[in-house]
């Protein structure tokens, strides 16, 4: 026992010593983080790793959050807004048909590798994408090029859309002219996409030496896109390290940046895949900001002194209906009954962050093309019951899929939203068969394939054009909805080929009215997603398009 | 000793062969085959045929199995469908984090569990014994992820003593040599990086150690109680050997045999089962990667992981056998 006592005493002493050392280290950590004016690293946590350091190969927000700091496109959106402004092009114009786009480029711009930015560099990029071959032509790799410009110089798959891109000409050192075959609603908005940001021509020559490869559906991205060193843009930060093991990408201020220099020297994006983990890391002082804040946490964080701005409304949350999954949905009365059964006001009031709005059509009211004359379907369980009776569907049983373990900017708590909607539908006499599925790939695959009679999804706009919303869903037959209606498709596509924005706006308004008369699904809400920052942070202007520029951020 | 090592290594071959057959059959029997598993519900017949051709699934079964085996031997485990990178590269990137975490967890469990179990047995019925037995019961009962959340809430968020997530602080900028953050700091002389990595390891390792610690305490206690009543212990005491010699050479050494076996098995299970702890601390090891692989039906990763873990289990068992022979010379004789 004597031995035990002495050993126990030693053990306790050792534990206290370790504790004291640990506390000492923690104090050091804290002082590093909070020494006013000395802090030169801003750490921001996202929910997932980027997929690539080359934005041209990406289509996801986590990748663009990183690459947007290092790469700039010809056009950008105004800070904190949705209006198109000059980016690498100071001014731009198009011919009346909207097929020839002339960009007057900014002078004195340098790439991170020292190369000069000019019209030849712009054309080198567009021609590089247009001439992609092999795996690069997979829509998983070149989604945005295909969305904006169609296919390639030589399509290798008959399912690849026909190329709309025609040519790029360097008229002089600072004037680039891009020609397309047909006017498109995706232009000029598409020129602002980070996926079409301009890379150094020297880097592009390196890119061209490497191939993306595919085996089955697994795509191996080229090496240059998986490590810092080769990629070079013109942005206020340059990418210096991608530590995949530590799940972080490090960027450093680019001192030769043409515009206002970044206020903080180092910018680090780290991945913390749970919402709670991100919140706790902010509260522990380990990070300076994070995205996808749960609406329930907003007030708590604000009360604790954190800065929690909300983005402008630029998304849409809807209940989709697949007519091929449940033939009862082919009857308009049934679709209308579902629309009138759901209490949207209650969903917005109880589940969405402050500033959320009830949606009455498939685009938010912040988009040009929103119509005030769409048919309304107010919440009315009695009317819903009557409609079901009229349709002979009093005993309607319907499968309702919802995703688990996911939070989207437009859909903060899917399961809670589902439960409320289920209760609403049951009040109207509809029997709901719930089907919970993992977000990726199960849920996304099932909804895309049209196997879920009812499901919940949404969309955050890429740029301010109505077609970016309604064209995404209703430009033609889509398995997700499982219907063919020429009137709807024609109305949606009418605006897509118009060169002038004002003409498109009128066409989109008409299209919204046609869509809501047909009622393919139920638009539920548009909501402003929140983003959180540390107490000592002056945050960047938050963007409705989730396109924050972290060069604007600083420490107090 | 060499024979033992060679024999155990040779045992790897039938183990892995058997496992490879099981895995191959599993992949082959997936509803709709691997192509449908990859493509999901959206698969059309044409797409399934295309994937089958690309993966060589239109070949006879024995050809497919031979190719499957060949790829495993060549460490060509395919490409992750989630990250687009070779599975082997992903393992090399993430496995060191899990190894570091698991080793520290088992180190904590052994360093605390063996003395605690030993002294609990020596003081059977006393306060230490009661505390150790009931404490180990609590350790087994508390879900690891819950303990991890509590530890993180108190020591990272409230007190700020330890970091709340990740493997290393952002400002450390450590040189990567082996992928083992603690070891790399020592090799390169960047001791601050090693210390930082240790600080990041402590909370997840303590959480992860809770169940092995409880098992080791109980096993050590039971084993010591059994051994200390053995005739040879009484004989040693009767011969007049010093108490400390009897306890260390006769009691503790013999009591350690079952504990060593348990430690081996526990280490293996930690390597393959640190999923929840890694997730709570966003640790970036193999556990969280496998979780997303399961969610995302990333079959190349899952197959590679199962083969890899089987190999690790066999190697750990080899180490356990070697440790046995060091503790008990009779093992060497037999």
ipTM at complex level: 0.71
Chain centroid to Cα A345, Å, comes to 25
Per the listing, tokens 């706006």 go with A505
Strand partners, B313: none
Task: Please tell me if residue A270 touches chain B, with a CB cutoff of 8 Å.
Answer: yes
B93 pLDDT exceeds 60?
Answer: yes
- Please judge whether A217 and B81 are an interchain contact, meaning their C-beta atoms are less than 8 angstroms apart: yes
- Please judge whether A23 and B93 are an interchain contact, meaning their C-beta atoms are less than 8 angstroms apart: no
Q: What per-residue confidence (pLDDT) applies to B33?
A: 61
Q: What per-residue confidence (pLDDT) applies to B42?
A: 54
Hey, which residues 34-63 in chain A have their CB within 8 Å of chain B? Answer: 41, 43, 49, 51
Mean pLDDT over B233-237 rounds to 86
Strand partners, A454: A321, A400
Q: Which is more confidently placed, B317 or A176?
A: A176
Distance from CA of A520 to the nearest CA of B (A): 21
- Please judge whether A281 and B165 are an interchain contact, meaning their C-beta atoms are less than 8 angstroms apart: yes
- Please judge whether A217 and B39 are an interchain contact, meaning their C-beta atoms are less than 8 angstroms apart: yes
Residues from chain B contacting residue A220 (CB–CB below 8 Å): 79, 84-86
Q: Which is more confidently placed, B9 or A40?
A: A40
Chain centroid to Cα A247, Å, comes to 20
Dihedrals phi, psi of A146, to nearest 5 degrees: -65, -35
- Please judge whether B97 and A245 are an interchain contact, meaning their C-beta atoms are less than 8 angstroms apart: yes
Q: Which is more confidently placed, B157 or B5?
A: B157
Distance from CA of B13 to the nearest CA of A (A): 28
Residues from chain B contacting residue A268 (CB–CB below 8 Å): 170
Most confidently modeled range among A2-6, B263-267, B304-308: B263-267
pLDDT digits (tens, 9 = 90+) for B172-210: 778 888 889 899 999 998 899 999 999 999 999 999 999
Q: What per-residue confidence (pLDDT) applies to A13?
A: 43
Q: Which is more confidently placed, A38 or B275?
A: B275
CA distance A264 to A47: 22
CB-based contacts of B157: which residues, under 8 Å, 6+ apart? A280, A283, A284, B164
Distance from CA of A321 to the nearest CA of B (A): 17
Q: What per-residue confidence (pLDDT) applies to A22?
A: 42
Strand partners, A242: A249
Give how far Cα B251 sits from Cα of A114, A472, B211, B244, Å: 72, 74, 25, 10
Residues from chain A contacting residue B99 (CB–CB below 8 Å): none
Q: E strand or H helix at A465, and its extent?
A: none
Residues from chain B contacting residue A441 (CB–CB below 8 Å): 40, 296-297
CA distance B27 to B89: 22
User: Is there a contact between A375 and A411 (Cβ–Cβ < 8 Å)?
Assistant: no
CA distance A378 to A383: 9
CB-based contacts of B208: which residues, under 8 Å, 6+ apart? B101, B102, B105, B144, B148, B270, B274, B277
Task: Please tell me if residue A277 touches chain B, with a CB cutoff of 8 Å.
Answer: yes
B53 pLDDT exceeds 80?
Answer: no
- Please judge whether B79 and A218 are an interchain contact, meaning their C-beta atoms are less than 8 angstroms apart: yes
Q: What per-residue confidence (pLDDT) applies to B206?
A: 94
Over its C-alpha atoms, chain A yields an Rg (Å, rounded) of: 26
CA distance B98 to B93: 10
Token reading at B265:
């098995």
Size of interface A-B (CB pairs under 8 A): 141
**Closest alpha carbon within chain A to B162:** A26
Question: Which of B79, B171, B282 is facing A273, going by the closest CB pair?
Answer: B282
Dihedrals phi, psi of B129, to nearest 5 degrees: -65, -50
Residues from chain A contacting residue B115 (CB–CB below 8 Å): 7
Q: Are strands A454-460 and A397-404 parallel, antiparallel or unpaired?
A: parallel
Q: What per-residue confidence (pLDDT) applies to A30?
A: 41
User: Is there a contact between A142 and A153 (Cβ–Cβ < 8 Å)?
Assistant: no
Token reading at B117:
């179990």
Residue-wise DSSP of A346-364: HHHHHHS-TT-EE-SSSS-
Q: What is the DSSP letter of A74?
A: S
User: Is there a contact between B223 and B259 (Cβ–Cβ < 8 Å)?
Assistant: yes
User: Is there a contact between B259 and B114 (Cβ–Cβ < 8 Å)?
Assistant: yes
Question: Which of A214, A244, A248 is facing B170, going by the closest CB pair?
Answer: A248
Distance from CA of A47 to the nearest CA of B (A): 10
Q: Which is more confidently placed, A164 or B315?
A: A164
Q: What per-residue confidence (pLDDT) applies to A12?
A: 44
Cite the beta strand spans of A5-131 per DSSP E: 41-46, 75-77, 84-86, 89-94, 100-105
Q: Cis peptide before A188, with omega less than 30 degrees from 0?
A: yes
Strand partners, A75: A86
CA distance A252 to A264: 9
**Closest alpha carbon within chain B to A21:** B161
B38 pLDDT exceeds 90?
Answer: no
Show the low-confidence residues of chain A (pLDDT under 70).
1-38, 215-218, 440-441
């Amino acid at each position: 026992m004597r031995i035990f006592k002495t050993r126990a005493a030693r053990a306790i002493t050792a534990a206290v010593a370790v504790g004291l050392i640990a506390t000492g280290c923690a104090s050091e950590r804290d002082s590093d983080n909070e020494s006013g004016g000395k802090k030169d690293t801003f750490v921001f946590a996202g929910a997932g790793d980027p997929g690539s350091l080359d934005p041209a190969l990406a289509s996801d927000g986590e990748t663009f959050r990183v690459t947007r700091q290092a790469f700039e496109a010809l056009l950008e959106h105004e800070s904190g807004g949705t209006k198109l402004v000059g980016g690498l092009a100071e001014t731009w114009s198009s011919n009346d048909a909207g097929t020839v786009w002339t960009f007057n480029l900014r002078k004195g711009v340098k790439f991170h590798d020292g190369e000069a930015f000019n019209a030849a560099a712009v054309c080198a990029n567009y021609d590089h994408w247009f001439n992609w071959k092999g795996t690069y032509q997979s829509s998983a790799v070149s989604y945005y090029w295909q969305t904006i410009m169609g296919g390639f110089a030589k399509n290798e798959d008959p399912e690849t859309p026909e190329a709309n891109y025609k040519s790029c000409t360097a008229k002089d050192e600072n004037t680039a002219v891009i020609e397309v075959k047909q006017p498109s609603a995706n232009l000029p908005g598409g020129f602002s996409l980070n996926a079409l940001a301009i890379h150094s021509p020297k880097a592009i020559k390196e890119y061209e030496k490497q191939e993306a490869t595919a085996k089955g559906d697994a795509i191996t991205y080229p090496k240059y896109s998986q490590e810092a060193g080769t990629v070079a843009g013109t942005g206020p930060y340059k990418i210096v390290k991608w530590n995949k093991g530590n799940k972080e990408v490090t960027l450093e201020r680019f001192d030769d940046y043409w515009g206002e220099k970044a206020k903080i020297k180092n910018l680090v994006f780290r991945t913390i895949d749970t919402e709670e983990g991100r919140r706790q890391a902010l509260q522990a002082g380990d990070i300076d900001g994070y995205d996808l804040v749960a609406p329930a946490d907003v007030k708590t964080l604000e009360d604790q002194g954190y800065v929690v701005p909300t983005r402008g409304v630029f998304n849409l949350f809807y209940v989709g209906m697949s007519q091929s999954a449940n033939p009862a949905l082919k009857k308009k009365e049934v679709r209308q009954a579902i629309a009138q059964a759901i209490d949207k006001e209650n969903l917005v009031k109880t589940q969405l962050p402050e500033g959320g709005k009830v949606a009455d059509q498939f685009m938010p009211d912040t988009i040009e093309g929103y119509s005030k004359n769409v048919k309304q379907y107010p919440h009315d369980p009695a009317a819903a019951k009557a409609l079901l009776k009229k349709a002979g569907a009093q005993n309607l049983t319907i499968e309702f899929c919802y995703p688990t373990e996911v939070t989207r900017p437009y859909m903060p708590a899917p399961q809670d939203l589902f439960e409320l909607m289920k209760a609403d539908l049951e009040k109207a006499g509809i029997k709901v068969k719930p089907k919970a599925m993992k977000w990726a790939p199960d849920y996304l695959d099932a909804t895309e394939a049209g196997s879920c009679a009812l499901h919940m999804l949404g969309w955050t706009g890429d740029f301010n054009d109505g077609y970016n919303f309604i064209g995404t869903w209703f430009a033609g037959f889509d398995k997700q909805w499982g219907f063919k209606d020429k009137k709807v498709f024609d109305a949606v596509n009418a605006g897509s080929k118009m060169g002038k924005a004002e003409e498109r706006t009128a066409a989109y308004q008409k299209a919204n009215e046609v869509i809501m008369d047909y009622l393919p699904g139920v638009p539920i809400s548009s909501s402003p997603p929140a983003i959180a920052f540390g107490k000592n942070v002056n945050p960047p202007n938050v963007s409705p398009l989730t396109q924050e520029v972290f060069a604007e951020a600083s420490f107090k | 000793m060499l024979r033992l090592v060679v024999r155990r290594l040779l045992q790897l071959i039938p183990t892995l062969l058997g496992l490879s057959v099981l895995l191959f059959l599993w992949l082959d029997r997936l509803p709709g085959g691997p192509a449908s598993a990859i493509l999901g519900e959206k698969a059309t017949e044409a797409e399934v045929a295309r994937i089958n051709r690309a993966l060589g699934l239109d070949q006879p079964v024995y050809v497919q199995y031979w190719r499957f085996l060949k790829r495993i031997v060549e460490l060509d485990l395919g490409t992750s469908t989630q990250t687009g990178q070779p599975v082997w590269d992903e393992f090399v990137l993430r496995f060191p984090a899990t190894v570091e975490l698991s080793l520290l967890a088992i180190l904590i469990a052994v360093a605390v569990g063996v003395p605690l179990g030993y002294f609990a047995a020596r003081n059977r019925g006393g306060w230490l014994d009661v505390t150790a037995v009931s404490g180990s019961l609590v350790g087994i009962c508390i879900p690891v992820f819950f303990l991890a959340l509590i530890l993180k809430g108190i020591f990272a968020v409230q007190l700020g003593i330890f970091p709340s997530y990740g493997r290393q602080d952002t400002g450390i900028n450590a040189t990567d040599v082996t992928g083992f953050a603690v070891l790399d700091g020592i090799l390169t002389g960047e001791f601050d990086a090693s210390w930082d990595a240790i600080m990041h390891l402590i909370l997840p390792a303590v959480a992860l150690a809770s169940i092995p610690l409880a098992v080791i305490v109980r096993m050590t206690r039971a084993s010591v109680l059994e051994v200390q009543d053995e005739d040879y212990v009484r004989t040693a005491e009767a011969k007049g050997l010093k108490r400390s010699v009897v306890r260390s050479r006769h009691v503790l050494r013999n009591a350690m045999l079952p504990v060593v076996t348990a430690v081996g098995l526990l280490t293996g299970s930690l390597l393959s089962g640190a999923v929840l702890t890694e997730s709570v601390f966003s640790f970036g090891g193999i556990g969280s990667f496998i979780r997303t692989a399961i969610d995302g039906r990333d079959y190349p990763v899952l197959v590679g992981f199962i083969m890899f873990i089987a190999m690790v289990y066999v190697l750990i068992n080899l180490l356990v056998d070697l440790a046995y022979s060091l503790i008990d010379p009779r093992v060497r004789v037999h």
